[in-house]
């Protein structure tokens, strides 16, 4: 409470200081115009100190009255149904304020005259209103009222803009929280799926080839350390993603041996392109498990990466049995591919492509197109996504 009171006092002092500075500037500018253009002295020789100081008697009364006028403007705003009655109050107030300012200025002028050796009197003429002088005071009142209205209006719009920004930030934080929850759900779907598939393969090999099974367990441990790491970014470079995918394929090569061939066709210069973390591994695993299952010939998987215009195009193709003959695009994809589709939709809404098609020569191709960005051009990853783990 004490801190808030201190802050309010500081703001009040700062406001009053600005009011006096503004009226001081107006006084100096007005006197400069008088000094340059006027040929008639106003009681004192033009350019003398009394002549200069007497001008402050014209404007400083309004420095005293400005805080009260600002409060009056705030309390009697000319909006709403009661604007007519409020306007009448303001007109009446302008007459009172103008007379007070005029008389205050005259008393200040009388004091200045006395200070510099000139005598004055408080006769009847001293108290009378002169039309020209009174009109000047009215102009000063309504100018001050207009300044108060402009400042208050600006402050109100600024406050609304700040509140709108705060609401937008809170909305973005809420949406980010929901997105993190959704992506964490995907992660929880993928982790057990990938682990189950790999451990199932190792279980079979423990009976057929214990040495290879042991090697697979070692490579699996290395792979899981990367896949399950919490500090993995939402995006990674193509080069890093290919390295992870090759680690997975090394595990599969132990199981399949010469029955699996992997070809890599990466356009030069795309190694630093940003793609979603763990994007390629589910596609490759899907090709190995589903595409090559039951294939008579040796399986071949081709990974391609191309920079086409403003798009990064990635494809994973296999020479397996391919899609069913009656397939027309209604393939029900598994956990790995469905999660990949969900991630792409959240990371690049309306800016990505995901296609699965039959190849004329046999086999299946998965094609993904996303916006092309390089790490050195955009170092920050998508802020609100948590990484999915790998799966097929």
Domains present along the chain, CATH in parentheses: 2-129 (no CATH), 176-371 (3.30.565.10)
> Would you place residue 233 in the very low, low, confident or very high pLDDT band (cuts 50, 70, 90)?
low
Residue 183 scores a pLDDT above 80: no
At 47 the pLDDT is 65
Give the DSSP H/E element, type plus range, for residue 369.
strand 364-371
Largest CA distance in the chain: 124
CA triplet 106, 137, 80: central angle to 5 degrees?
Answer: 140
DSSP structure class, residue 303 = E
What is the rounded average pLDDT for all residues in the chain?
A: 78
- Helix axis angle, 83-115 to 131-208, nearest 10°: 120
CA 68 to the chain's CA centroid: 40
Listed residue (296, 295, 382) closest to 345, CA to CA? 382
CA 360 to the chain's CA centroid: 47
Among 81-95, 245-259, 361-375, the range scoring the smallest mean pLDDT is 245-259
Q: Please return the burial class of 2, using the count of CB atoms within 10 Å of its CB with bins 0-12, 13-18 and 19+.
A: exposed
- Among 71-85, 113-127, 139-153, top mean pLDDT goes to 139-153
Summarised one tens digit per residue, pLDDT across range 45-60 is 666 777 788 888 888 8
Residue 348 scores a pLDDT above 70: yes
> How far apart, in whole angstroms, are the C-alpha atoms of residue 128 and residue 325?
107
Listed residue (302, 289, 308, 282) closest to 362, CA to CA? 302
- Residue 229 has, within 13 A of its CA and on its CB side, a CA count of 13
Return the number of other C-beta atoms located less than 10 Å from residue 391's C-beta. Answer: 27
Residue 351 scores a pLDDT above 80: yes
Summarised one tens digit per residue, pLDDT across range 187-198 is 555 456 566 767
At 55 the pLDDT is 80
> How far apart, in whole angstroms, are the C-alpha atoms of residue 243 and residue 237?
10
Q: Give the helix ranges, DSSP H, for the chain.
A: 2-37, 49-54, 56-75, 83-115, 124-127, 131-208, 210-227, 238-256, 280-286, 335-347
**Is the Cα dihedral 283, 285, 288, 289 positive or negative?**
negative
Listed residue (176, 294, 291, 276) closest to 233, CA to CA? 276
Residue 80 scores a pLDDT above 50: yes
> How far apart, in whole angstroms, are the C-alpha atoms of residue 343 and residue 386?
10
The model's pTM = 0.49
> How far apart, in whole angstroms, are the C-alpha atoms of residue 101 and residue 144?
13
Summarised one tens digit per residue, pLDDT across range 121-130 is 676 666 777 7
- Residue 341 has, within 13 A of its CA and on its CB side, a CA count of 11
Q: SS3 for 324? A: coil
CA 242 to the chain's CA centroid: 33
- Residue 321 has, within 13 A of its CA and on its CB side, a CA count of 13
Return the number of other C-beta atoms located less than 10 Å from residue 221's C-beta. Answer: 9
Residue 316 scores a pLDDT above 90: yes
Q: Please return the burial class of 306, using the count of CB atoms within 10 Å of its CB with bins 0-12, 13-18 and 19+.
A: middle
Percent of the chain with pLDDT over 90: 11
Residue 204 scores a pLDDT above 80: no
Pairwise pLDDT comparison (42 vs 162), residue with the higher score: 162
> Would you place residue 171 in the very low, low, confident or very high pLDDT band (cuts 50, 70, 90)?
confident
Listed residue (184, 189, 270) closest to 234, CA to CA? 184
Listed residue (299, 227, 230) closest to 260, CA to CA? 299
């Amino acid at each position: 409470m004490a801190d808030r009171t201190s802050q309010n006092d500081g703001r009040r002092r700062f406001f009053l200081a600005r009011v006096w500075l503004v009226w001081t500037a107006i006084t100096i500018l007005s006197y400069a115009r008088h000094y340059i253009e006027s040929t008639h002295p106003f009681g004192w020789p033009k350019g003398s100190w009394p002549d200069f100081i007497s001008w402050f008697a014209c404007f400083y009364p309004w420095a005293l009255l400005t805080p009260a006028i600002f409060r009056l403007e705030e309390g009697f705003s000319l909006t709403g149904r009661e604007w007519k009655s409020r306007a009448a109050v303001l007109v009446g107030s302008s007459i009172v304020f103008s007379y007070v300012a005029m008389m205050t200025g005259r008393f200040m002028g009388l004091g200045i005259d006395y200070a510099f050796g000139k005598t004055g009197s408080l006769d009847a003429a001293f108290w009378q209103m002169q039309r020209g002088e009174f009109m000047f005071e009215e102009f000063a009142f309504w100018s001050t009222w207009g300044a108060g209205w402009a400042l208050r209006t600006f402050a109100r719009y600024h406050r609304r803009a700040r509140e709108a920004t705060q609401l937008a930030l809170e909305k973005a934080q809420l949406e980010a929280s929901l997105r993190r929850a959704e992506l964490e759900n995907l992660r929880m779907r993928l982790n057990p799926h990938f682990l189950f598939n790999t451990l199932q393969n190792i279980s079979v090999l423990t009976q057929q080839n214990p040495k290879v099974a042991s090697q697979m367990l070692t490579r699996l441990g290395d792979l899981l350390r990367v896949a399950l790491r919490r500090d993995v970014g939402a995006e990674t470079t193509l080069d890093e993603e290919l390295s992870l995918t090759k680690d997975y394929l090394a595990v599969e090569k132990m199981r399949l041996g010469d029955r699996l061939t992997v070809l890599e066709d990466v356009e030069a210069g795309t190694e630093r392109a940003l793609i979603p973390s763990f994007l390629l591994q589910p596609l490759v695993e899907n090709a190995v498990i589903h595409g090559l299952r039951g294939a008579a010939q040796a399986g071949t998987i081709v990974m391609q990466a191309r920079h086409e215009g403003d798009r990064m195009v990635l494809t994973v193709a296999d020479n397996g049995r391919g899609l069913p003959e009656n397939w027309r695009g209604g393939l029900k994809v598994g956990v790995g591919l469905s999660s990949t589709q969900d991630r792409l939709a959240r990371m690049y809404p309306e800016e990505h492509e995901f296609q699965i098609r039959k190849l004329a020569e046999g086999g299946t191709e998965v094609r993904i197109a996303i916006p092309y960005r390089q790490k050195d051009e955009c170092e920050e990853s998508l802020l609100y996504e948590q990484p999915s783990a790998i799966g097929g």
